[in-house]
Amino acid sequence: MCKAVCDVCFRHCVIPEGGTGFCGGRVCKGGKVAAGNYGLVTSLALDPIEKKPLAQFHPGSLILSVGSYGCNLRCPFCQNNSISWSREAMTMGERAEYISPETLTEIAASYRNRGNIGVAFTYNEPLIGYEYVLDTAKLVTDIGMKNVMVTNGTAELPVLRKLLPYIDAMNIDLKGFTEHYYRDVLGGDFKQVLDFITEAAASCHVELTTLIIPDENDSEDEMRELTAWVKALPGGEDIPLHISRFFPQFHMTDRDATDVSHIYHLAEIARENLKNIYTGNC
């Protein structure tokens, strides 16, 4: 049976003909790996830009937010599990609506008079279907509107480099700052995310989000290490960091929500290194 290797993220899935990769969104057709979720939209909404969250990119504006299905991480606390990696998500392609890049661009343009500035690729992990992001972002750029991506940053740099000429802003999850957390809790690759953030921050507006999970990534030392690393990036001191409160959900209901006072305490520690700290879900 013919097989092909996916080159999007660190997993490098070997996918048999007609099969699907770990993410649930990439497939092998004709001996080549492609985005099986291309244009298959599960979520479409006109959101405040601050909801992405982006605090310092056209504040007060709206953006057309679009999502598909599938994800290459396995965060047990995922708030979008119904379209990311739950059992339901793995069959979402059967119920998703196809919206072409041309049609999505037309929809975005139709909301200009309501304050829409462009398109945000979000909700599930957009990088596993980067071809759709790329094709749409080119058209959105052509009509003078903005492209935003909300991502876990788990992708190879050649994928990022294809997208960067057309992406104006990103919110990237920096979910923690240890190999253990990325490998054993999230099923991810810590170094790949750091490399992704480093290159993205040199090319477009970047804001970062860290969700604080009790007893996992909530120590003062880890916050100091994380923010010191961000500060060392070019322009790093000014990169906004969103520190968000965890609520029990999906496969992580074995602990309480993060204490609000601890979120504020970690925010003060983060301000030792970074100027623009925002707290979320408090």
Q: Which CATH superfamily is domain 40-280 in?
A: Aldolase class I (3.20.20.70)
pLDDT reported for residue 1: 60
pLDDT reported for residue 103: 98
**Domain residue limits, the chain:** 40-280
- Residue corresponding to tokens 């660190």: 10
Under-50 pLDDT residues of the chain: none
Rounded to the nearest 10 degrees, the angle between the axes of helix 220-231 and helix 260-270 is 40
* Contacts (Cβ under 8 Å, ≥6 apart) of 147: 118, 119, 120, 121, 136, 137, 140, 141, 166, 167, 168, 169
The pTM (predicted TM-score) of the whole model is: 0.96
pLDDT reported for residue 57: 98
Distance separating alpha carbons of residues 136 and 155, to the nearest angstrom: 19
